Amino acid sequence: MSPLSHREIDAFKSLPMFSALGETTLRELAANCEVRTFPPGTMVFCQRQPAQRFHVVLSGRVKVFKLSSRGDEQILHIFGAGETFGEAAMWAGDKYPACAQALEDAELLGITRQGILRAIKRDGELAMRMLAGMSAKLREFARLIEELSLKEVPARLARVLLEESRAAGSSILRLRQTKRELAAQIGTVPATLSRALGKLRNDGIIEVRGPRIIIRNLRSLMDLSENG
């Protein structure tokens, strides 16, 4: 296994659960990790596969999704650079409850359960920091479940547009998802997504120019996301 580069070590340091580690512990943990590249469409892991590691996205994007008994896809989240996924299942020593697939060339840093357990034996405080990080993830999934069950499609769409705008640092965005992926992400179908886009456009909240979306009324979009 090749030593991690400075960029990959920096990715460790940027994670809340590892940010307070000493340099020695950090490098010992990193020595047990592996970087892999996944071409678009490649499965990172499948539902019910044993969860032996979690991943840090160094570059690219990965979608985590579930399949219904009918084969319908529900996208739970799309992860980009600097984000992590798979922690809860790995710590439970269980199987992954969902699938993960690369949407584009994705470079992932895999961190194994055994490697972390060895690090915890040397630094007991690491366990508390990781618990804090996983608690934040659980809160995010609880928010997602509440939103999918209680909010209408335009409100769910507004939330995604706000997130994309923050990530881009601009009110002009080019969605990273296809319409099918975006529809699955907010728990609907492409036809209903198109109607929701039309509603936001007719209300003067957004303007749609081909693949680009321009936010014209940020306050209204925020109100819709929070109260819709």
**pLDDT tens track for 102-150:** 999 999 989 888 888 887 777 777 777 667 666 766 676 666 666 666 6
Query: Does 146 or 7 have the greater pLDDT score?
Result: 7
Give the per-residue SS3 of the chain: CCCCCHHHHHHHHHCCCCCCCCHHHHHHHHCCCEEEEECCCCEEECCCCECCEEEEEEECCEEEEEECCCCCEEEEEEECCCCEECHHHHHHCCECCCEEEECCCEEEEEEEHHHHHHHHHHCCHHHHHHHHHHHHHHHHHHHHHHHHHHCCHHHHHHHHHHHHHHHHCCCEEECCCCHHHHHHHCCCCHHHHHHHHHHHHHCCCEEEECCEEEECCHHHHHHHHHHC
* pLDDT band for position 75 (cuts 50, 70, 90): confident
Q: What's the burial of 179, exposed, middle or buried (CB within 10 Å: 0-12/13-18/19+)?
A: middle
User: Mean pLDDT, to the nearest integer, of 165-191?
Assistant: 83
CATH superfamily entry for domain 6-149: Jelly Rolls (2.60.120.10)
| 1 has a pLDDT exceeding 60 | no
Looking at residue 145, what is its pLDDT?
Answer: 65
Which class is domain 152-227?
Answer: mainly alpha
pLDDT higher than threshold 60 for residue 27: yes
Could you tell me if 204 and 213 are in contact, meaning their C-beta atoms sit under 8 angstroms apart? Answer: no
Sequence-distant (6+) residues with CB within 8 A of 74 are: 65, 66, 67, 68, 184, 187
Structure tokens at 24: 């020695």
The closest alpha carbon to 66, from 175, 185, 150, belongs to 185
Which position has the higher pLDDT, 106 or 31?
106
**Domain locations in the chain?**
6-149, 152-227
> How big is the chain by its Cα radius of gyration, in Å?
19
Residue of higher predicted confidence among 21 and 209: 209
